[in-house]
Chains A and B, each alone.
Chain A
Amino acid sequence: NAGVMQNPRHLVRRRGQEARLRCSPMKGHSHVYWYRQLPEEGLKFMVYLQKENIIDESGMPKERFSAEFPKEGPSILRIQQVVRGDSAAYFCASSFSGGGNQPQHFGDGTRLSIL
């Protein structure tokens, strides 16, 4: 499967725990984007990364959220001390380059539920 791979598909955490969401981009893609989707809403941009660099994190909450895209391995979105309001679907997308005409290809998402 050459598509964007996200795991886990479903993640349940209790308030105060940490959540780690993983994303492997499409083969040959070095640009990764994370979005959050709340019920009945569109996707909201969180962060844009290239290998080992955060390019734009203007959509990330200032506290508890962090993202990385190491030289080797998947991109990780990390949420510390989760709260009920973090419950959402988190989508990762990748593109071959950051150019404006490149479509982003999406994974199937991780559905995070906070108890």
Chain B
Amino acid sequence: AQSVAQPEDQVNVAEGNPLTVKCTYSVSGNPYLFWYVQYPNRGLQFLLKYITGDNLVKGSYGFEAEFNKSQTSFHLKKPSALVSDSALYFCAVRENPEGSQGNLIFGKGTKLSVKP
């Protein structure tokens, strides 16, 4: 069965430092992977996706993610964190990537806290 794991409940980073939010996945076939961010009392905002091609995917707000097939990982990264990046981050995998339909399977989320 497809699954997503975010091993860290919380990540603390100082402003200006690089940040990494980890995600590993388990899926049969080729994975379609997504990162979303959620601010308090809001819905999820799409950041970036990996479908195929380059392993390094660039997304919104300076975020990027690196797909590593051998490690089945899709870690979210940013070279220099901002206080405004503090939010809840979700990794997701498409359940049926090869088909014409399929819901998203989400990790439990990682709370990112960026301190000034």
| A109–B43 CB distance below 8 A | yes
- Lowest 3 A-B CB distances belong to which pairs? A106-B43, A42-B106, A45-B103
Taking CB atoms, residues of chain A closer than 8 Å to B106 are 35, 42-44
Q: Please, which residue of chain A has its CB at the minimum distance from the CB of B52?
A: A101
Q: Please, which residue of chain B has its CB at the minimum distance from the CB of A33?
A: B103
B17 at the interface (CB under 8 A from A): no
| A101–B100 CB distance below 8 A | no
Taking CB atoms, residues of chain A closer than 8 Å to B105 are 45
B8 at the interface (CB under 8 A from A): no
Q: In the complex, what's the smallest C-beta–C-beta distance from A19 to chain B, in angstroms?
A: 18
Q: Is the interface of B mostly helix, strand, loop or mixed?
A: loop
Quick one: which of B33-62 are within 8 Å of A by CB? 34, 36, 41-46, 49, 51
Q: In the complex, what's the smallest C-beta–C-beta distance from B79 to chain A, in angstroms?
A: 23
Q: Please, which residue of chain B has its CB at the minimum distance from the CB of A103?
A: B46
Quick one: which of B11-42 are within 8 Å of A by CB? 32, 34, 36, 41-42
Taking CB atoms, residues of chain A closer than 8 Å to B99 are 100
**Bitwise interface map of B from 89 to 104 toward A, beta carbon under 8 Å scored 1, else 0:** 0100011111111111
| B101–A98 CB distance below 8 A | yes
Q: Please, which residue of chain A has its CB at the minimum distance from the CB of B34?
A: A103
Docked pose: A105 CA to B42 CA in angstroms = 12
| A108–B42 CB distance below 8 A | yes
Q: In the complex, what's the smallest C-beta–C-beta distance from B55 to chain A, in angstroms?
A: 16
Taking CB atoms, residues of chain A closer than 8 Å to B75 are none
Taking CB atoms, residues of chain B closer than 8 Å to A56 are 101, 103
A104 at the interface (CB under 8 A from B): yes
Q: Which of B49, B96, B97, B103 has the most CB of A within 10 A?
A: B103
Taking CB atoms, residues of chain A closer than 8 Å to B104 are 33, 35, 43, 45, 93, 104
Quick one: which of A9-67 are within 8 Å of B by CB? 33, 35, 40-45, 48, 55-56, 59
